Amino acid sequence: MKKVFFGIGALFILFVAGLVVLMTVDFNRLNKDTYYVHITAEGEVEEYKVDSGEIFKMYWYELPAYNKNGEEKTLKFSAHKNLRQDAYLKLYVKKETEVSSFDEVKFHELPAKVQDQMK
């Protein structure tokens, strides 16, 4: 009987641990390359209409991006809003050019080699 309770308790703990992982881990950022960009211009607006008739806007950016070693690559990515001018972003990139997510960062949070490139 103790073995049954122990087994049920172990399964419950695994279930709770799995839920915690799913709620806290952002899989769009996990094991991705990081690049940094400086927003210097307005995004190109693309409007599209869904079946309900509602119109959505997507803002596209194509900018030079730098990895932590200061190596440059041009990346194209989108946002659901026009990004703030003079903002610095950390891009999460998979498959060489596919941006899966981004975060705004401060200039002093950029790696030193990236700061040198963006001055």
Per-residue pLDDT tens, the chain, 119 aa: give them: 777 777 777 777 777 766 666 666 555 555 677 888 888 877 777 788 878 878 888 888 888 888 888 777 888 888 877 777 888 888 888 777 767 777 778 877 777 776 677 76
Please compute, for residue 20, the number of CA atoms within 13 A of its CA located in the half-sphere on the CB side.
6
Determine the Cα–Cα distance for residues 82 and 41; give it in Å rounded to an integer: 10
**89 CB burial (10 A radius; 0-12, 13-18, 19+):** buried
Reference 95, options 31, 41, 15, 40; nearest CA is 31
Reference 34, options 89, 93, 97, 108; nearest CA is 93
Question: Is the pTM higher than 0.75?
Answer: no
